Amino acid sequence: MPTYETSTVAAPMPNFENLRKQAKLVLRWHRDRYYPVAAQIRSGLPRFGQMTDPEILAQNFKLNDAQELVARQHGFESWQALKTGLNTMSDHASAISTKPVITAAEPQLFVADIDASCAFFTTKLGFATVFTYGEPPFYGQVKRDAARINLRCVEQPVVDAVMRDREQLLAASLVVARAEDIKQLFLEFQAGGVTFVQALKREPWGAKDFIVKDPDGNLLLFAGPAE
């Protein structure tokens, strides 16, 4: 089946009330010393960027801090900028849908070493490490642009390697919007010394794609339009 398809459906406008609830939830997690929220705060708010998890959770973290974090996670510099942006979008919205909308998906890769996997994604594929969790780390996340991949440490492989390679069982598919982007991405990875399971090629369904294998054997497909 095609991995790439063109969609003409506009992205849904965020619900401001839901964003307020998100901010309050972040604040509650901080007060409850829920460690995973420390990684979100560190990656989202520059003033916390050099702090450890315990140091972040020891800070006097307030609602306006949580609101700023939520705003930055949605591409705005401040809570006020988010409010203004949403108001502007609502002026142009013709209708408001009450149907729940899934706004993102985050594939999870099973890996043997979180640090080694993060190093592969950051040095070879141009991702950035969002967070790692645990001592030693057993969970983490990397991102590039809008794509996020979760990493879960396991002691033994959970997929038969021979079958995976024979059937090209993909662990994740990542998509770009333009034909020139997929070619540029392939050349970027090629220059970085990435090993390809499948080089860039045109598919019958109108896509161009290539496949990369990470250090744990996970197959990552990168796809975009052919024209």
Measure the CA–CA gap between 89 and 15, rounded to whole angstroms. 11
User: Is residue 42 left, alpha or beta, with left meaning phi > 0 and alpha meaning psi from -120 to 50?
Assistant: alpha
Measure the CA–CA gap between 72 and 44, rounded to whole angstroms. 6
Query: What is the total residue count of the chain?
Result: 227
Q: Which helix (H) or strand (E) holds 220?
A: strand 219-225
- Say if residues 149 and 142 touch (Cβ distance below 8 Å): yes
Q: What pLDDT, on the 0 to 100 scale, is given for residue 126?
A: 95
Measure the CA–CA gap between 56 and 38, rounded to whole angstroms. 6
- Say if residues 53 and 35 touch (Cβ distance below 8 Å): yes
Question: Residue 124 to residues 116, 187, 189, 194, 227: CA-CA distances in angstroms?
Answer: 12, 12, 7, 6, 26
Q: What pLDDT, on the 0 to 100 scale, is given for residue 89?
A: 61
- The mean pLDDT value for 95-106 works out to 65
The model's pTM is 0.60
Lowest mean pLDDT among 1-5, 34-38, 119-123, 202-206: 1-5
